Amino acid sequence: MRLFKKYFKEILLVITALVFLSPVYIMIVNSFKSRSELYENVLALPETLTFEHYIRAMDRMNFGLAFFNSLVITIISVFIIVILSSMTAWMLARKDNTLSRVIFMTFIATMLIPFQTIMMPLIQFMDQIMSTTGLPMLNTRSGLIFMHVGFNASLAVFLYHGFVKSIPISLEESAEIDGASKFTVFWRIIFPILKPITVTVIILNVIQIWNDYLLPSLVLTDQSLRTIPLATFYFFGEFTIQWNQAMAGLVLTIIPVVIFYALAQKHIIKGIGEGAVK
Amino acid sequence: MSKHHNKLWYLVFVLPLFIIFATVVLIPFFIGIFYSFFEWDGFSANPMVYVGLDNYIELIDDGRFLNSAWLTLEFTILSLVLVNVLGLGFALIVTSALKSANFARTMFFMPNLIGGLILGYIWQFIFSDGFRVIGELTGYENVFRNWLTDTDLAMYALVIVFSWQMAGYMMIIYIAGIQSIPGEVMEAAEIDGANYFQRLKNVVLPLLMPALTISLFLTLSFSFKIYDVNLSLTAGGPANSTELLAMHIYNEIFGYNNYGYGQAKAIIFFIVIAAITLTQVYMTKKREVEM
């Protein structure tokens, strides 16, 4: 009886988890169905396995290009965020004077500002910078990367700052006595120690930047620059919805996320927890 | 090492990020406050007219704005309850000694990684065609019909999708809270003859207060700022019945081209969110002292 109860609980939990993910099931099965099949029963398995809708969806979303854009923008943004935020946070934590505290508090305080409060003046300001200096701020990948770095700097500095404070200062001092420059001390000694928090910063920013829709939608106007969320939005807007094709498109957008999750699950769950609690 | 040298290193380390941050966040924030005192349609050829506090006064009587604020409040309260009940429930199941717990945790968290925009599109299909078929199969056609075309039900659809997205996130926070409860405390309660629900009510929940505070306020600020799911699931419809604040501000500025007026709404939006978040920090800090 006890054994039965135990297995019953196990099975119940598996079923709960599967029901929870049933929208994903519905999405996948319908991406293979013909129109009539889909209208007959959305829950049933497809009769044949045809990738025709996937091919059409890939073509219409220009998926290859959107994937490339998303990948380039995410990787470069996260790379810059990690480099610059760790350097800044280390210096602010170690040179603990009034200026450092004011800068640090400014970073933290602005985390309160929702994106909607900044979006319009941001675009106006970027437009002004572009017309006065000629720097390519709007409608370019580099401009978008610049803005991603600016928006995600605060949280990264905050996380690094907390971590740096837990590292004993004696290590750095002895290196400096030996004549090493700040630059060498940071990259040789400090940065390797920061690795656990760097993983957290990478995870949080990859998720945020990969999925971001609103900022890219305001910055990018060229079709050829669209990221995956943008391509998805226009895919749904431009054509009268054929659900089988639409579902195929959505499955495509989720595949990279699932692969990322499968590879880094442990780090992701740890990173999310740390990012939230602090 | 000279003092001059040290200052130079300080600049090398701090300045690049600070310049980017100031250009993207700080300066636009202050420009935004400035814009909110003007009437402007967003076209650089047209003049900006200074109107003082008129924009702020006007929005007190703006029915659409107030309605949107009310809807946001309704959405937030419903989400707050559903997300946290699900999150805590999942956390309790997943931390029990079941073999399938790890699998379940992975599945429960999964939706959180998929962007809000894409989640909204998946559920658009489920609420329209999926529900129609379920209705036909089960005979409950008055429940299982297209929720997204119904001005009352569309809001609930939004709550469900948002909860589906966020429950796994809150689960992670609750799991951390549960795991920090010392094993002896639970054993002692068990030896004293407390049953599962007594243990839950008298031991687990009180010790979970810090995790609960964090989760409640995170849900609060996330649901207040919801945009992506809102856009892809209902786009504010039907008949503006789900146009929440973030979308309302977007539409006011870029849809109706009321740049100054919309910006005033955006500033108010900021003040409300800042108030919520600061209360969160204050209460969390207070609890930490007590613990």
Per-residue pLDDT of chain B (291 residues; tens, 9 = 90+): 466 778 899 999 999 999 999 999 999 999 999 999 999 999 888 899 999 999 999 999 999 999 999 999 999 999 999 999 999 999 998 988 788 888 899 999 999 999 999 999 999 999 988 888 888 888 888 888 899 999 999 999 999 999 999 999 999 999 988 988 888 887 888 888 888 888 888 888 888 888 888 888 889 889 999 999 999 999 998 999 999 999 999 999 999 999 999 999 999 999 999 998 888 778 766 765 554
Q: Measured in whole angstroms, how far is the alpha carbon of residue B190 from the centre of its chain?
A: 37
Q: Looking at chain A, which residue has its C-alpha nearest residue B228?
A: A213
Q: Which of B9, B112, B227 sits opposite A182 (nearest CB)?
A: B9
Cα–Cα distance, B175 to B179 (Å, whole number): 6
Residues 6+ apart with CB under 8 A from B239: B151
| DSSP assignments along A10-49, one per residue | HHHHHHHHHHHTHHHHHHHHHTT--HHHHHH-SSSPPSS-
Which residues 161-200 on chain B approach chain A with CB closer than 8 angstroms? 164, 169, 172-173, 175-176
- The answer to whether the CB of B189 falls within 8 A of the CB of B202 is yes
Which residues from A are below 8 Å from B259, CB to CB?
A: 120
Nearest to A275 by CA among A194, A167, A171, A199: A199
Q: Do the Cβ atoms of B117 and A277 come within 8 Å?
A: no
Cα–Cα distance, B3 to B208 (Å, whole number): 50
Residues 6+ apart with CB under 8 A from B214: A276, A277, B173, B280, B284
